[in-house]
Structure 1
Amino acid sequence: MHLSHQLGIVILFLSFLCSSVKSMYFFLEGNNQKCFMEELSKGTVIDGNYKTQEYDSKSQSYRENPSSSILITIDEIFDKGHRVLNQRSGSSGRFTFTAADSGDHLICVMATTKNWFSKENTKLFFDMKFIDNVFDNSQKEDAEKEKLSSINMKIRDINSKVASIKREQQYQREHEIEFRNQSEATNSHIMYWLIIQFVIIVATCLWQMRHLKNFFTVKKLV
């Protein structure tokens, strides 16, 4: 019981180290964008969720507008502002991103409206979960093992099929040999029977000729 409790604490501690969550909400005016910088290590995964609400002047409250959209961009500051993510989605949704290299990343969000010069306020709820790819090597090793295991299974399956084909071919050869032997034996039996019949016919003819000769001699016809 004590060991399982310690194991649970260790797992919880590793989970805390491997991931962090940032939740925030802020207001955007018109088509202005909000940017913030994050230093990400290589392999860090960002799992983000967002939801927007536009200000309704009639009800004087913030409400969801299905026709609105949001633009999310991520630029690599260390690589001369190279843009690695440019995603436009609806008023609410989710996005994921994996850092290809370590360094500062500029994350920007912008709520877009139909009217470019609109000054309406948009409330944006934004939360991001940062997952460090600590187990990347082990995951790759597991994937490689699974891939090798799959290849080995396919090789064994192919070898089994080849062995089955060889057994079938061997059976066919043995069957052909047996059929040929039976055919040759039958042909030889037929040949022997024909020879015996020929001998019997010749003997019968000779006996009949001798019998007729004796008959004619007795009757003094010859």
Structure 2
Amino acid sequence: MLFDTVLKVVLLLFLFPVETFGFYYYSSTGEKKCFNKELSKGTLLKGKYNVQIYQDDLKSYMDASADKLEVVIDVEEVFDDNHRVVHQKGSPLGDFTFIALDSGEHRVCLEPNNKSWMGNSKAKISIEFEVGSEAQLDSKKKRTVESLHEKVNMLNAKISEIKREQALVREREANFRDISESANSKAMWWTIFQVVALGGICVWQMKHLRSFFVKQKVL
């Protein structure tokens, strides 16, 4: 019983080696928001984000354009006197990646800024983190690619099946057309035969009546 429980735990750890979590928060442009993460040495952290700006005329948050907004991403090592290991500027929709050089607490900060001299705007920032080893994340990508490849193969198989069904339908239509043409041809020849036979009978009856009338001295 204990062995089964341990086996299930090991399988769960094997199936879910990468920690993934996403959320969103409300802020404003020019305001920096930070998140602390405890990372071990060699851990790979990937982040994906999307910044939306509140539009007063639409009363809703809409995607921001890269020519009006930029996002500053900073990653600092809290355990090493806030030593900054990542500093990059990106578009409102983007991602970032870094590998922890040492074990300890890290701070990830995002700061959306207006490129123009306009005042600060309300912003909605959606962010998703993936934490794991580089090999694990690459394996996850590989599984995703394999899954997409499998779906493409399934679509190709369905297309091939549809093509086979279409070829079968065309073959049946050709057979039906040949049968219809053969039936129409036979019907036409049968009609011609009936007309010729009827004409022959009429001619024979006319000759018979003429002979009868001659014998009766009517003609």
Residues in 1 aligned to 2:50 and 2:40: alpha-carbon distance in whole angstroms: 27
- Residue in 1 that maps onto 2:19: 20
- Higher deviation after alignment, 95-104 or 111-120: 111-120
The one-letter code of the counterpart of 1:59 is: L
User: Structure 1 residues 41, 134: closer, same or farther in 2, change over 3 A?
Assistant: farther
Q: Does 1:57 pair with 2:56?
A: yes
Q: How far off its partner does 1:109 sit?
A: 0.5
- Residue in 1 that maps onto 2:47: 48
- Residue in 2 that maps onto 1:32: 31
Maintained 8 Å contact 1:44/1:133: yes
For residues 44-123 of structure 1, the aligned pairs below 5 Å read: 44-67=43-66, 68-115=69-116, 118-123=119-124
Q: How far off its partner does 1:8 sit?
A: 10
- Residue in 1 that maps onto 2:130: 129
* Unaligned 5+ runs, structure 2: 1-6, 137-219
Residues in 1 aligned to 2:39 and 2:112: alpha-carbon distance in whole angstroms: 25
Residues in 1 aligned to 2:62 and 2:52: alpha-carbon distance in whole angstroms: 5
How many residue pairs were aligned? 129
TM-score (norm 2): 0.53
- Residue in 2 that maps onto 1:185: none
The one-letter code of the counterpart of 1:51 is: N
Secondary structure of 2:57 counterpart: coil
Q: How far off its partner does 1:112 sit?
A: 0.9
Q: How far off its partner does 1:14 sit?
A: 1.7
Residues in 2 aligned to 1:95 and 1:118: alpha-carbon distance in whole angstroms: 27
Maintained 8 Å contact 1:70/1:110: yes
How far does the alpha carbon of each residue in 1:89-127 deviate from its partner, in whole angstroms, 9 at most, with x for none?
A: 101011111001000101100111124672311111100
Q: How far off its partner does 1:130 sit?
A: 0.4
Residues in 1 aligned to 2:15 and 2:116: alpha-carbon distance in whole angstroms: 44
Q: How far off its partner does 1:13 sit?
A: 2.5
Secondary structure of 2:101 counterpart: coil
- Residue in 2 that maps onto 1:182: none
Residues in 1 aligned to 2:94 and 2:135: alpha-carbon distance in whole angstroms: 27
Residues in 1 aligned to 2:92 and 2:23: alpha-carbon distance in whole angstroms: 16
Q: Larger Rg: 1 or 2? A: 1
Secondary structure of 2:13 counterpart: helix
Residues in 2 aligned to 1:120 and 1:38: alpha-carbon distance in whole angstroms: 28
Residues in 1 aligned to 2:52 and 2:134: alpha-carbon distance in whole angstroms: 33
Secondary structure of 1:100 counterpart: coil
CA RMSD of superposed structures (Å): 2.4
TM-score (norm 1): 0.53
How far does the alpha carbon of each residue in 1:54-93 deviate from its partner, in whole angstroms, 9 at most, with x for none?
A: 0111111111121322111000011111100011110101
